[in-house]
Amino acid sequence: MEDSKNSIYALKTSAGQERNVARLLATRSRETRNTDTFIGVEAILVPESLKGYIIVESSSRIDMRNPAMKIPHLRGVVEGNQSITLEEVKRFLKPEPIIASIKEGSVVELISGPFKGERAKVVRIDKSREEVVLELVEAAVPIPVTVEADQIRIIQKEAD
């Protein structure tokens, strides 16, 4: 059943598998182009800020009973209104920079660099240089470490 226009859907995935699901879904969509199991995916968005979900634009209704939709780590379509609006998607196209969401006192995890995997507390923020000064939580002596904001992941925000 073809819709007259494309619709946008949010699909649930296993956390951390969003890109793999998107890649497999794109491949499956190309493979089924001229078959009766066609899934009609026109575009796929994997927002960094939305863990466990991908956003899909489709020319046909997404039906999880379609055999072509049997993709590892794909859990289903977000229930409710089924289709979502372009306005709801636009906020994921230009996410706010991570530096804007960091506050002094927040607990973060370093995701790259020599201290990868270490937890630290934010001591100071330099928004103009997009850098943060951290103190490693498990260090015997508190040593300030300066890193770029994109090298950290917020674990616990400081209360306002």
> 67 pLDDT band (50/70/90 cuts)?
confident
Which SS3 state, helix, strand or coil, does residue 117 take?
coil
Q: Is the pLDDT of residue 12 over 80?
A: yes
Q: What's the mean pLDDT in 119-128?
A: 91
Q: Report CA Rg, the chain.
A: 20
In 3D space, the residue among 92, 39, 88 whose CA is nearest the CA of residue 67 turns out to be: 39
Q: Is the pLDDT of residue 147 over 90?
A: yes
- What is the per-residue burial (b if ≥16 Cβ within 10 Å, else e) of 63-97? eeebebbebeebeebeeeeebeeeeebeeeeeeee
Question: Cα–Cα distance between 103 and 113 in angstroms, integer?
Answer: 21
Q: What is the DSSP letter of 27?
A: H
Nearest 5°: phi and psi at 95?
-70, 155
Question: Cα–Cα distance between 77 and 42 in angstroms, integer?
Answer: 16
> 82 pLDDT band (50/70/90 cuts)?
low
Q: What is the pLDDT of residue 23?
A: 94
Q: What is the pLDDT of residue 84?
A: 78
- % the chain with pLDDT above 70: 91
Q: Is the pLDDT of residue 20 over 90?
A: yes
Contact criterion met (CB below 8 Å) for 32 and 72: no
pTM of the model: 0.56
Check residues 1 and 29 and name the one with the higher pLDDT.
Answer: 29
> 21 pLDDT band (50/70/90 cuts)?
very high
> 2 pLDDT band (50/70/90 cuts)?
very low
